[in-house]
C-alpha cells in the first residue's frame, strides 16, 4: 500500500489554483493535470467505472463485497486550491516529532509559524507536520482529503475481509471559487448520501454552514484637473470609503465567531472615475442573511439619494445555503460518522462551518453531504500545515464509516 504522505506530496506538487474571474469549467487548464493523474491512480489501485467528464469531474466506484443490499455511500474532495494565494512551486517542509516551538518557514524572509499566534499547533506536539516554505500555500485544502479518500479505497481493496457496500468517490474542480458542485452529476454519482473530506482539525464533523452571497459594488465618479475641480470632481474612492464605513464595523470576519455572520470586503480597486468593491455576505440564520443583503442594498440606495445621483450600483448573487435544512431529516448519516470517530478514539467536534463546502450545494441537489475533517490548518495562505497523523486518522474514519454502514444495514 502506498504511503499516504507520498501520495499527498505528489498531489501538492501540481499547481491547481482556480480563477474566480474565468467562467470556464474548470476555471484553469492546470486543474486537468491533477484530475487526469487521479483517473490514472484510481484505475491503478483497482477502482471500477473510473470516469472524467468534459468539466474535469472525476468519479469512481468501489463495488460491494457483500451479498446483501446496503446504502451506497460516497466520499468527495476538491482538487483546486484557493485563488487567494499562490500555489506555484510548492516546496513542502517535513518536521518530525514537532516540539511545540516556533517553526522557521523561511529564514531569509523571517517567516515563522508560531504557536503563540497559531495555538492549534500545540494539538500536534510530538507528531510529524508538513508545512510550506513560506512562499506558497500548501494545498492541504483539499489535497489532503483526496489523499485520504484514495488511500482508504486502496486499503479496502487490499483488505477484502472488511465488508462494505458500494462506495462512490468523486473529485471536483473549482470549489474554492464557489462552482465545485455546479455541474456535478448527482444522478450519475449514484450515492444515497456522501461526505466531503474538507474540514480542518481532527474530529471536526459539520452539517451546518453559512448562507452565502457575493456582492459587487461599482461606484462612478467624475475626473477633472485637480486644480479646477471645485464643484466638478466626484471622487469615487471617497464615496467607496463612506460606503465601507456605513456597514456595521464589528460585523467583519476578524471580529466574529461561531454562528455570527459578517460582511467581508475582500477586493478593492479604484481610481477617481471608478471604484469597485467586492464583498462576501455570510450568516447561518436565513432570516438574518436576507436582512444583511437588504441592509447592503439600503445603504447604497440611501447614499445615492444623498448624493442626488445613482452613482452606486450594487449586484448581489446568492452562492450557497445552509445544508442543515437538508441533513437534519437524515441525521443518521451524521450519527454514523460520529460513531466511526468514537470507535477510533477520536473526539467528535460537531460544529457549524464558518464557510461552505461542495456539500452545501450538493445537499440542495439531493445528495445529503456532511463534512469531515481532513486535518489541515490555516488554509489559503503561507502558514498552512497538516499533520501526517491527522491524514491517517481521516483515512481510518472513511474505512470505519464504510464498515459501520454495512453492519448497521445488515440487520434490516
As to burial, measured by CB atoms within 10 angstroms (0-12 exposed, 13-18 middle, 19+ buried), residue 85 is middle
Q: φ and ψ at 208, to 5 degrees? A: -130, 145
For CA atoms 365, 371, 376, 381, the dihedral sign is positive
Q: Catalytic: which of 41, 142, 154, 175? A: 175
Q: Name the grid cell of 79.
A: 482538487
With cell 492549534, the residue in question is 120
Residue among 38, 33, 370, 318 nearest 198 (CA): 370
Q: Catalytic: which of 80, 142, 208, 396? A: 80
63-68: list long-range contacts, CB under 8 Å, 24+ apart.
Answer: 63/166, 64/164, 64/165, 64/166, 65/160, 65/163, 65/164, 66/163, 66/164, 66/165, 66/406, 66/410, 68/409, 68/410
Is 80 a known active-site residue? yes
Q: φ and ψ at 389, to 5 degrees? A: -60, -30
What's the rounded Cα separation, in Å, for the pair 121 and 126? 11
Contact 327, 370 (CB under 8 A): yes
With cell 479505497, the residue in question is 153
- The alpha helices in 163-210, defined as continuous H runs, are 186-189
The residues near 227 (Cβ < 8 Å, ≥ 6 apart) are none
Q: At what angle do helices 4-12 and 388-410 cross, to 10 degrees?
A: 110
How close are the terminal C-alpha atoms of the chain, in Å?
A: 34
Contact 141, 397 (CB under 8 A): no
Q: CA 357, 362, 405, 156: dihedral to nearest 10 degrees?
A: -70
Is 251 a known active-site residue? no
The residues near 27 (Cβ < 8 Å, ≥ 6 apart) are 18, 19, 20, 80, 173, 174, 177, 179
As to burial, measured by CB atoms within 10 angstroms (0-12 exposed, 13-18 middle, 19+ buried), residue 364 is middle
- Residues marked active site are found at 80, 175
Amino acid at each position: 500500500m502506498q504511503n499516504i504522505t507520498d501520495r499527498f506530496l505528489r498531489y501538492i506538487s501540481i499547481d491547481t489554483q482556480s480563477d474566480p474571474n474565468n467562467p470556464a469549467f474548470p476555471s484553469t487548464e492546470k486543474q486537468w493535470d491533477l484530475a487526469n493523474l487521479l483517473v490514472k491512480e484510481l484505475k491503478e489501485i483497482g477502482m471500477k467505472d473510473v470516469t472524467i467528464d468534459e468539466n474535469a469531474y472525476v468519479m469512481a466506484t468501489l463495488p460491494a463485497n457483500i451479498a446483501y443490499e446496503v446504502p451506497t455511500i460516497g466520499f468527495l474532495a476538491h482538487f483546486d486550491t484557493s485563488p487567494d494565494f499562490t500555489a506555484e512551486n510548492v516546496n513542502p517542509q517535513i518536521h518530525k516529532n514537532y516540539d511545540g516551538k516556533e517553526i522557521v518557514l523561511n529564514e531569509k524572509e523571517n517567516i515563522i509559524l508560531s504557536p503563540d499566534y497559531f495555538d492549534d499547533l500545540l494539538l500536534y506536539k510530538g507528531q510529524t507536520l508538513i508545512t510550506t516554505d513560506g512562499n506558497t500555500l500548501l494545498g492541504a485544502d483539499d489535497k489532503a482529503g483526496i489523499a485520504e479518500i484514495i488511500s482508504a479505497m486502496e486499503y479496502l481493496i487490499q483488505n477484502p475481509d472488511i465488508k462494505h457496500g458500494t462506495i462512490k468517490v468523486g473529485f471536483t474542480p473549482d470549489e474554492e471559487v464557489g462552482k465545485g458542485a455546479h455541474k456535478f452529476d448527482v444522478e450519475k454519482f449514484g450515492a444515497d448520501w456522501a461526505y466531503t473530506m474538507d474540514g480542518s482539525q481532527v474530529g471536526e464533523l459539520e452539517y451546518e454552514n453559512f448562507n452565502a452571497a457575493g456582492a459587487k459594488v461599482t461606484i462612478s465618479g467624475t475626473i477633472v484637473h485637480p486644480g479646477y475641480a471645485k464643484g466638478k470632481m466626484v471622487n469615487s474612492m471617497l464615496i467607496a470609503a463612506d460606503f465601507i464605513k456605513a456597514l456595521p464595523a464589528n460585523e467583519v470576519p476578524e471580529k466574529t465567531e461561531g454562528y455570527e455572520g459578517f460582511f467581508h470586503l475582500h477586493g478593492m480597486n479604484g481610481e477617481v472615475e471608478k471604484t469597485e468593491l467586492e464583498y462576501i455576505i455570510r450568516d447561518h440564520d436565513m432570516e438574518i442573511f436576507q436582512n444583511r443583503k437588504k441592509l447592503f442594498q439600503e445603504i447604497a440606495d440611501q447614499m445615492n439619494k444623498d448624493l442626488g445621483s445613482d452613482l452606486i450600483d450594487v449586484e448581489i448573487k446568492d452562492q450557497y445555503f445552509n445544508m442543515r435544512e437538508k441533513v437534519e431529516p437524515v441525521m443518521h448519516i451524521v450519527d454514523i460518522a460520529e460513531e466511526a470517530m468514537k470507535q477510533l478514539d477520536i473526539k467528535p467536534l460537531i460544529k457549524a462551518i464558518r464557510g461552505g463546502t461542495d456539500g452545501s450545494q450538493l445537499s440542495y441537489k439531493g445528495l445529503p453531504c456532511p463534512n469531515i475533517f481532513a486535518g489541515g490548518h490555516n488554509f489559503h495562505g503561507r502558514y498552512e500545515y497538516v499533520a501526517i497523523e491527522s491524514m491517517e486518522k481521516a483515512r481510518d474514519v472513511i474505512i470505519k464509516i464504510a464498515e459501520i454502514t454495512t453492519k448497521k444495514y445488515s440487520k434490516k
